[in-house]
């Protein structure tokens, strides 16, 4: 599957990657969640060229993830704000940070504090029903028949990837 095909699949992960999987987009989202709103700040802190940053901001606005608002009228200057759709990406950024802290040695560079209790926190994925902390070994997948059919069609066309079986437990050690 080519990168251009990511949006044309039923797979939710592929479709999300097509929208927000670009490294510059993730860096922009990082800055937005750190409270940065202005182009110059994001350019300085991400290291993106003005052209790349401008393209990604336009795409994020077109996708409804960011909203562009004028903060000065003479001269006209804009800042960017997360929409509800954009704020819903917070767990993605925070889990990337958590993974980096564990595996890339970045612990302590940025600490998360819970505003209500003031304590430092490390994000966890929990079951909304029983509140048990989860990892991939405790999850099974249930794939829609339409996505299974799409996966079979890809296999039939010799597209790389083996698809998945409905209700098959996830095994992170499988290739």
How confident is residue 155, by pLDDT bands cut at 50, 70 and 90? Answer: confident
pLDDT at 175 over 50: no
What number is the average pLDDT over the span 64-78? 95
Q: In the predicted model, is pLDDT for residue 61 greater than 70? A: yes
At 170, list the tokens. 């996830």
Does residue 91 surpass a pLDDT of 60? yes
Contact 1, 161 (CB under 8 A): yes
Q: What is the pLDDT of residue 28?
A: 98
For residue 167, pLDDT over 80 is answered with no
Lowest mean pLDDT of 1-15, 42-56, 142-156, name the range.
1-15
Quote the pLDDT of residue 2: 65
Whether 95 shows a pLDDT value over 90: the answer reads: yes
Map out the domains of the chain with their CATH numbers.
1-88 (1.10.10.10)
Proportion of the chain above pLDDT 90, given as a percent: 73
pLDDT band at 160 (very low <50, low <70, confident <90, very high): very low
Q: What is the pLDDT of residue 127?
A: 94
- Mention every residue, 6+ apart, whose C-beta is less than 8 A from residue 148: 163, 164, 165, 166
């Amino acid at each position: 599957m080519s990168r251009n095909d990511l949006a044309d699949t039923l797979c939710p992960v592929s479709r999300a990657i097509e929208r927000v999987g670009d490294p510059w987009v993730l860096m922009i989202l990082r800055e937005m969640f750190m409270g940065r709103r202005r182009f110059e700040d994001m350019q300085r802190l991400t290291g993106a060229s003005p052209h790349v940053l401008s393209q990604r901001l336009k795409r994020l606005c077109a996708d409804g993830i960011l909203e562009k608002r004028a903060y000065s009228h003479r001269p006209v200057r804009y800042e960017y704000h997360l929409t509800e759709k954009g704020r819903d990406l917070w767990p993605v950024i925070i889990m990337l940070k958590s993974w980096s802290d564990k595996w890339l040695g970045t612990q302590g560079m940025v600490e998360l504090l819970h505003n209500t209790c003031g304590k430092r926190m490390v994000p966890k994925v929990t079951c909304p029903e029983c509140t048990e902390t989860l990892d991939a070994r405790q999850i099974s997948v249930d794939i829609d028949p339409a996505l299974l059919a799409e996966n079979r069609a890809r296999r039939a066309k010799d597209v790389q990837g083996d698809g998945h079986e409905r209700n098959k437990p996830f095994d992170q050690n499988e290739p």
